[in-house]
Amino acid sequence: MADQARKIKELEQQIAILQKKLARHNHVEPLPQLTALDYRVLFEHAFDPMFVLDADQNYVDANLRAVELIEYDRQELLTMSVFDLIPEEQQERSRQQFSQLKARGHYESFIGKLVCKDGKQLDIEVNSSAIYAEDKIIGSIDICRDITERLKVDAEIKSRLESLVNNRTTDLEKTNRLLIEKIKQRQLAEEAWQASEDKLRRIIDNMRKDYFLYSRNHSGEYAYVSPSIRDVLGYSPHTFQLHSKNFLTTSSLNERALKAIHKCLKGQQQPFIEQEYFDKDGNIHILELSEVPLYDAKGNISGSEGIAHDITNRKKMELELLKTQKLESTGLLAGGIAHDFNNMLSAILGNISLAKIYAEPDSKVYKKLEETEKASWRARDLTQQLLTFAKGGAPVTRPESIELMVKDSAWFTLRGSNVKCDYTAEQGLWSVEVDEGQICQVIQNIAHNADQCMPNGGTFTIHAENTVIDEDSILPIEGGRYVKITLTDTGPGIPKKVLSKIFDPYYTTKKQGSGLGLAISYSIIKNHGGLLTAESKVGKGTTFHIYLPFSGVVPITTHQKEDQVIRTGTGRILIMDDDQVVREIGKEMLEHLGYRPATASDGDQAIKMYREAMADNAPFDAVIMDLTIPGGMGGQETMDQLLKIDPLVKGIVSSGYANDEIMNNYEQYGFKAIIPKPYKIERLGMVLDSVLKNSHRP
């Protein structure tokens, strides 16, 4: 009995020692403001899906939002790589982006596809940054945004305290073993906690530079701001905490944001709060905040914490996309209108050119015909403006020096007005790859607007210079060398609410005008791979900036002028056009030039007539074909068939779509020449003379 009592006494002493150790482990010093738990909460409950990948692009972790998005459970995901969740056609692009990540530590945000477990594909925006360990990239963190449908986030962050219940037992040896096991578990938990904290700290430290973390006190004032605020707005954390209200803009966004922040401080988590701030240089930035309530140990709300993302560039990209969609819709309508209008002009100008032949050059009739002809050509220019929308308005470019075309276009537009035009240019201005007609049209549109906004006179200043755009520039164009043209007027300026709409099709504040000039100009510059922007101050004037990419070659300086002499000839000519009026006026012009014409309304009829002429040993010397025949065989298909019938056929393609691929590269499609609609008798005679000269059949 004495021996047993002694053993019990020893066990009681060991238990007392273990209880003291456990008490020391259970005593936790006050944590700093942002603990590993805070980081874990931010990671797990961030409103943006977040994936952590290793160096081979295998998934090693993902937050709750990511798991919900793709509908795989976490264990399934950890057996997969990024290539299991993206379509095959985007995998090569993903490899290139990861190579860029390894080289630069991050890459610009991009939009791609993500395949969910049920096969559904989502459109997502991805931001990625490398994760470093000892200066070596060991993986990456991808922050995604589901832009297919903005999901409402309704998961609340709950904190649960786990209480340990110790059941007293009479078996002291069993209690001893339980206490030892508890201590071992606590030690393992602390090690796991430390590893998790280190991992999350690496994630936060390697986040992209357009994010920063923050927390607020119960009054809504900033209590903490991470150092990356310097990269976003240029302020130190201390300065931003003290003066953040002074940096807010007057945008209505901030009024809505203030209400959302107050709701968060009352316990309602707030995803996607947008705020506008001025940065240190006075530029406006749009921040998107994801904010959740912060609770103390008693479960009371003590403030809030969240992640801020600078989405300024994304907003600009969305506006650019919206403008492009508007222009594309207008282009579909413009194409149909312009096609019919060109056919009408072909008949009008053809009849005018014939009437001028029969009229005396000194007569009043002849002068009136000339005035009518000039007006018709101006109408043709309007048609070409409409066609800038149709089929994307593809420019026919070549290397050019823009100095003369810019200066002459502005002076031509402003001649006779009260507006003075000043032009300067940098020495050694680079050449640019442009369509001269379209660029002149842009300058004329802007100069015309300047003239209209300064009816009592003023100054229109143009300056051209070389410039280099950095890859990380906020301008929505590729980095590289550009020629920048700055056009400034001294008019009344444009209000801010109007300035954002001036490039919209049909938008105008003038009583007279189509609202197409600046929209067309925007489309033309965009199709040249450049950029057109505007800035204005009410009472001081408006400035437009045009960026055109450097061509890299010496410009072409020679231009051919159309021969105005009427050239006659002989031979059989077949005209194929779906418009009867165009066929009739073409036939009459050919007869006046000395040719024997025949007409066909579509490709099938033209092929039949060509076969019959070959069979009668009286082949056509040339065939003029309309490129587009609604509901029938057009010029390209007809030419393919005629070449099979007669390899020596001389086809001439005609169309109002001067920028069409076939019109630009007609020889590749078997044609001998082109004749754009509308055309005069002089042009028709010159083209036929060129095609038929020294090309008689053997």
Q: Is residue 168 part of a domain?
A: no
Secondary structure string (H, E, C) spanning 426-491? CCCCCCEEECHHHHHHHHHHHHHHHHHHCCCCEEEEEEEEEEEECCCCCCCCCCEEEEEEEEEECC
* Whole-number pLDDT of residue 469: 92
Least confidently predicted of 47-56, 220-229, 664-673: 47-56
Tokens of 456: 């009592």
Residue finishing a domain among 310, 345, 360 = 310
From CA 534, how far away is CA 323, in angstroms rounded?
14
- Residues 210, 201 contacting (CB under 8 angstroms): no
pLDDT band at 697 (very low <50, low <70, confident <90, very high): low
- Of 391, 396, 385, 394, the closest CA to residue 521 belongs to 385
- Of 101, 175, 109, 169, the closest CA to residue 139 belongs to 101
pLDDT band at 386 (very low <50, low <70, confident <90, very high): low
- Of 507, 378, 396, 346, the closest CA to residue 444 belongs to 378
Do 520 and 624 lie in one domain? The reply is no
Block residue for tokens 């009260």: 418
Least confidently predicted of 173-177, 268-272, 464-468: 173-177
Do 535 and 633 lie in one domain? The reply is no
Q: Is the pLDDT of residue 479 over 60?
A: yes
* Whole-number pLDDT of residue 13: 55
Do 532 and 576 lie in one domain? The reply is no
- 154-212: pLDDT as tens digits: 434 334 434 434 444 455 556 566 766 776 776 776 666 666 656 655 655 555 678 89
- Residues 449, 518 contacting (CB under 8 angstroms): yes
> For the chain, what percent of residues have pLDDT higher than 90?
32
Q: If you average pLDDT over every residue of the chain, what do you get?
A: 80
SS3 content of the chain, % helix, strand, coil (to 5): 45, 25, 35
Q: Is 289 helix (H, G, I), strand (E, B) or coil?
A: strand
pLDDT band at 315 (very low <50, low <70, confident <90, very high): confident
- Residues 257, 245 contacting (CB under 8 angstroms): no
* Whole-number pLDDT of residue 333: 67
* Whole-number pLDDT of residue 217: 93
Q: Is 658 helix (H, G, I), strand (E, B) or coil?
A: coil
Q: Is residue 335 part of a domain?
A: no
Tokens of 545: 């900036």
Q: Is the pLDDT of residue 360 over 90?
A: no
From CA 69, how far away is CA 211, in angstroms rounded?
22
Q: Is residue 33 part of a domain?
A: no
From CA 429, how far away is CA 407, in angstroms rounded?
14
List, in sequence order, the alpha helices (H) in 105-236: 172-205, 229-233
Q: Is the pLDDT of residue 16 over 60?
A: no
- Residues 338, 386 contacting (CB under 8 angstroms): yes
Least confidently predicted of 24-38, 121-135, 649-663: 24-38
- Residues 50, 62 contacting (CB under 8 angstroms): yes
Amino acid at 682: E
Do 216 and 116 lie in one domain? The reply is no
Q: Is the pLDDT of residue 651 over 90?
A: yes
- Residues 504, 519 contacting (CB under 8 angstroms): yes
Residue finishing a domain among 118, 146, 174 = 146
User: What's the Cα-to-Cα distance from 542 to each of 445, 534, 680, rounded to whole Å?
Assistant: 14, 7, 41
428 burial level (CB within 10 Å; 0-12, 13-18, 19+): exposed
Tell me, what CATH number does 542's domain have? 3.30.565.10
Do 539 and 584 lie in one domain? The reply is no
* Whole-number pLDDT of residue 388: 57
Least confidently predicted of 8-12, 129-133, 521-525, 629-633: 8-12
Q: Which residue has the higher pLDDT, 659 or 361?
A: 361
- Residues 99, 92 contacting (CB under 8 angstroms): no
From CA 398, how far away is CA 556, in angstroms rounded?
7
Q: Is residue 134 part of a domain?
A: yes
Read out DSSP for 344-368?
HHHHHHHHHHHHHHHS-TTSHHHHH
Do 545 and 597 lie in one domain? The reply is no
Do 434 and 544 lie in one domain? The reply is yes
Q: Is the pLDDT of residue 33 over 60?
A: no
Q: Is residue 220 part of a domain?
A: yes
Q: Is the pLDDT of residue 24 over 50?
A: no
From CA 269, how far away is CA 263, in angstroms rounded?
8
Least confidently predicted of 136-140, 389-393, 552-556: 389-393
Neighbouring CB atoms inside 10 A of 439's CB total: 26
Which residues are bridge partners to 542 per DSSP?
536
From CA 375, how far away is CA 385, in angstroms rounded?
16
Sign, Cα dihedral of 233, 234, 235, 237: positive
- Could you tell me the strand order of the sheet in which 622-626 lies? 596-600, 572-576, 622-626, 651-654, 673-674
Q: Is 532 helix (H, G, I), strand (E, B) or coil?
A: strand
From CA 417, how far away is CA 489, in angstroms rounded?
14
Do 541 and 591 lie in one domain? The reply is no
Q: Which residue has the higher pLDDT, 157 or 257?
A: 257
Residue finishing a domain among 119, 146, 173 = 146
Q: Is residue 640 part of a domain?
A: yes
- Could you tell me the strand order of the sheet in which 301-310 lies? 222-225, 211-217, 301-310, 284-295, 270-278
Q: Which residue has the higher pLDDT, 658 or 182?
A: 182
Q: Which residue has the higher pLDDT, 385 or 501?
A: 501
Question: How many residues does the structure list for the chain?
Answer: 698
Q: Is the pLDDT of residue 153 over 90?
A: no
Q: Is the pLDDT of residue 319 over 90?
A: no
**How are beta strands 572-576 and 622-626 bridged, if at all?**
parallel
- Residues 254, 284 contacting (CB under 8 angstroms): no
* Whole-number pLDDT of residue 18: 46
Do 541 and 443 lie in one domain? The reply is yes
Secondary structure string (H, E, C) spanning 390-434? HHHHCCCCEEECHHHHHHHHHHHHHCCCCEEEEEEECCCCCCEEE
Do 407 and 499 lie in one domain? The reply is yes
Cα Rg for the chain, rounded, in angstroms? Answer: 37
Give φ, ψ of 502 to 5 degrees. -65, -20
* Whole-number pLDDT of residue 594: 94
Cα 60 from chain centroid (whole Å): 33
From CA 395, how far away is CA 388, in angstroms rounded?
8
Neighbouring CB atoms inside 10 A of 163's CB total: 5
- Of 27, 37, 64, 28, the closest CA to residue 295 belongs to 37
- Of 431, 467, 451, the closest CA to residue 542 belongs to 451
- 320-350: pLDDT as tens digits: 777 667 666 766 666 667 667 777 888 788 8
Do 295 and 405 lie in one domain? The reply is no
Sign, Cα dihedral of 429, 433, 436, 439: negative
pTM of the model: 0.41
Q: Is residue 635 part of a domain?
A: yes
pLDDT band at 28 (very low <50, low <70, confident <90, very high): very low
User: How many domains in the chain?
Assistant: 4
Q: Is the pLDDT of residue 279 over 80?
A: yes
- Of 619, 609, 684, the closest CA to residue 649 belongs to 619
From CA 220, how far away is CA 217, in angstroms rounded?
5
- Of 451, 437, 317, the closest CA to residue 385 belongs to 437
Q: Which residue has the higher pLDDT, 591 or 551?
A: 591
- Residues 494, 507 contacting (CB under 8 angstroms): no
Tokens of 68: 């919900």
- Look up the domain containing 618 and give its range: 572-692
From CA 359, how far away is CA 370, in angstroms rounded?
11
* Whole-number pLDDT of residue 540: 92
Q: Is residue 443 part of a domain?
A: yes
- Segment 401-417 shows an average pLDDT of 85
Tell me, what CATH number does 273's domain have? 3.30.450.20
Do 92 and 216 lie in one domain? The reply is no
Tell me, what CATH number does 672's domain have? 3.40.50.2300
